[in-house]
Amino acid sequence: MRIGDVAAAAGVSVRVLRYYEQQRLLVSTRTPAGHRQYEESAVDRVRLIQLFYGAGLSSKAIREVLPSVEAGEATAELVEFLMGERRRVEQRISDLVTVRGRLDVVIDAAVNPRHDCLSSTAP
């Protein structure tokens, strides 16, 4: 498949495909004219890469887990790594909930001139 065909089928830009190649997440061959050619499976691989990026994984992490996931071989190490990523996201969510509570106090202080934000207990 040509690069434009893969991009259209996967719902990404050509630039994204080039980036994935640069990050060693996707492989193409070249025609004699220098055009990129991809296997038919590239569309599914790009969709999987998009899912991983959407889950907050880095290029390096995706490069490491992609072969196991594509093969359906979830090792104990892979599952532990992914669970660690989930715990990291949960901590970020908790931190953001705390920040949101503090912003609520700041908003209340901004709209209520008699508000004593220093004596309030911010979550």
pTM, entire model: 0.77
Predicted local distance difference test score (pLDDT) of residue 119: 60
* Residue 121 clears pLDDT 60, i.e. is over it: no
CA dist 85 and 87 (Å) reads: 5
pLDDT tens sequence across 42-52: 999 999 999 99
Helix (H, G, I), strand (E, B) or coil at 99: helix
Domain ranges (residues) in the chain: 1-73, 74-123
Phi (first) and psi of residue 29, to 5 degrees? -110, 170
Q: Are strands 36-37 and 29-30 parallel, antiparallel or unpaired?
A: antiparallel
CA distances from 29 to 11, 45, 59 (A): 21, 16, 21
The domain 1-73 having CATH identifier 1.10.1660.10: the answer here is yes
CA dist 59 and 49 (Å) reads: 9
Predicted local distance difference test score (pLDDT) of residue 91: 97
Q: What is the mean pLDDT of residues 76-91?
A: 94
